[in-house]
Amino acid sequence: MTANPYLPFPCRLDGIEVENEERDIKTFKLAFLEAEHAKAFAYMPGQFAELSLPGFGEAPFGIASSPTEAGFVLFSVKRVGVFTSELHASECGRLVGVRGPLGKAFPWEAMQGKDLVVVGGGFAFTTLRSAIVYALDEKNRKDFGTITVIYGARTPGELLYRSDLDAWSARKDIELHVTVDRGDEAWKGHVGVVPKILEQTAPKADRAMAIVCGPPIMIKYTLPVIDKLGFSPKTTVLSLENRMKCGIGKCGRCNIGPRFVCVDGPVFTREELSALPQEY
C-alpha cells in the first residue's frame, strides 16, 4: 500500500485474455511501473484491490494471481457497467491504477497442515485460482495435505482459466472436479451443480478447511452439504462481495452491523459471520 491509502500505484496493462464464450469476462495482466511499488503491493490470496481509470472511477476486484507469480498481477473482470466496460475496451499499454492490497486474505495460518477443499462457481473463481496456484507452488505444497477442488460453470464455454485447469488435471497432487450445468458434445467431465458434485466427491472434513466462493444460489445449496460432510463454522471460509467504495473502512458503504467487509473481510469464517446480522 502507498503511504497515502487513497493513492493508487500506476500499472501498465501488459496482457488481456478473453476468458469465456460470452466474451464478457477478461483477465487483465498488470505490471507495476516501479519495482518498489511491486514490492509494496505484498498480498496473499483472498485479498482484493481497487482498480482505477482516470475519468471512469474505481472498482474493487479480487486478485486472481498468486504472490508466487512474480512480475505481474492478474484481475479477471466481468463487464457489467461504466468502469468494467471501459476496462474491457482498453488495449495493452494503457495505464491502470491499482490501490491495495486490501482486506483480509484466506486464513493461511489456520490452513497450514490441513487438507484444503476449494469449492467455487461462476466468475467468483478468481481468488480461488490465486489460492490454488499458491498452494500448489513447489515452495508451499508441503504445507498442505490433500487439495480437492470442485469448480462449476453453467456451460463449458463459461469455464475460466482453461490452461490452469488443464495443468492442474495433469497433476497427481490435486484432485480436480470440474462440472457444468449443461454439457455439449465435446464435454467429458461432470454434469451437475456444484453442491451435487461436492456431495458425490465427499472430501473428508476431519483435518480439512473448506473455502467456498460463488454466486449466492450456489452458496445457499452448498453450505448444507458442507455441514453434512462434517465441516464446522470454524473450518468453513466464505468471501463476500458487498458493495464498496473506499476499501479502507472510511466510507461505511460495506458494513454488516459493526464490521466493515472491506477491512474485516471480505474473507470470513462462518463462525465470524454467524455473529453478524444477515445483511450479506
Ligand X SMILES: Cc1cc2nc3c(=O)[nH]c(=O)nc-3n(C[C@H](O)[C@H](O)[C@H](O)COP(=O)(O)OP(=O)(O)OC[C@H]3O[C@@H](n4cnc5c(N)ncnc54)[C@H](O)[C@@H]3O)c2cc1C
Contact 156, 185 (CB under 8 A): no
Distance CA 239, CA 261 (A): 9
Enumerate the β-bridge partners of residue 14. none
* Nearer Cβ to ligand FES (115/241): 241
- The reply on whether position 246 binds ligand FES by CB under 6 A is yes
Enumerate the β-bridge partners of residue 179. 152, 190
The window from 9-17, 26-34, 162-170, 240-248 that contacts ligand FES (CB under 6 A) reads 240-248
According to CB under 6 A, which one of 7, 34, 250, 274 is a site residue for ligand FES?
A: 250
The window from 54-62, 108-116, 128-136, 179-187 that contacts ligand X (CB under 6 A) reads 54-62
Q: Minimum Å distance from CB 61 to ligand X?
A: 4
According to CB under 6 A, which one of 96, 194, 198, 244 is a site residue for ligand X?
A: 244
- The reply on whether position 7 binds ligand X by CB under 6 A is no
- The reply on whether position 245 binds ligand FES by CB under 6 A is yes
Residue 267's binding partner among ligand X, ligand FES, none (Cβ under 5 to 8 angstroms by kind) is none
Distance CA 176, CA 5 (A): 38
Grid coordinates representing 239 are 468471501
Q: Which amino acid is at 206?
A: D
**Binding map of ligand X across residues 89-128, x = CB under 6 A, - = no contact:** ----------------------------------x--x--
The window from 149-157, 167-175, 176-184, 235-243 that contacts ligand X (CB under 6 A) reads 235-243
Q: Minimum Å distance from CB 103 to ligand FES?
A: 9
- The reply on whether position 241 binds ligand X by CB under 6 A is yes
According to CB under 6 A, which one of 80, 202, 217, 251 is a site residue for ligand FES?
A: 251
* Nearer Cβ to ligand X (41/123): 123
- The reply on whether position 247 binds ligand FES by CB under 6 A is yes
The window from 59-67, 158-166, 169-177, 268-276 that contacts ligand X (CB under 6 A) reads 59-67
Binding site for ligand X (CB under 6 A): 48, 59-62, 76-78, 80-84, 123, 126, 241-244, 266
Binding site for ligand FES (CB under 6 A): 244-247, 249-254, 260, 262
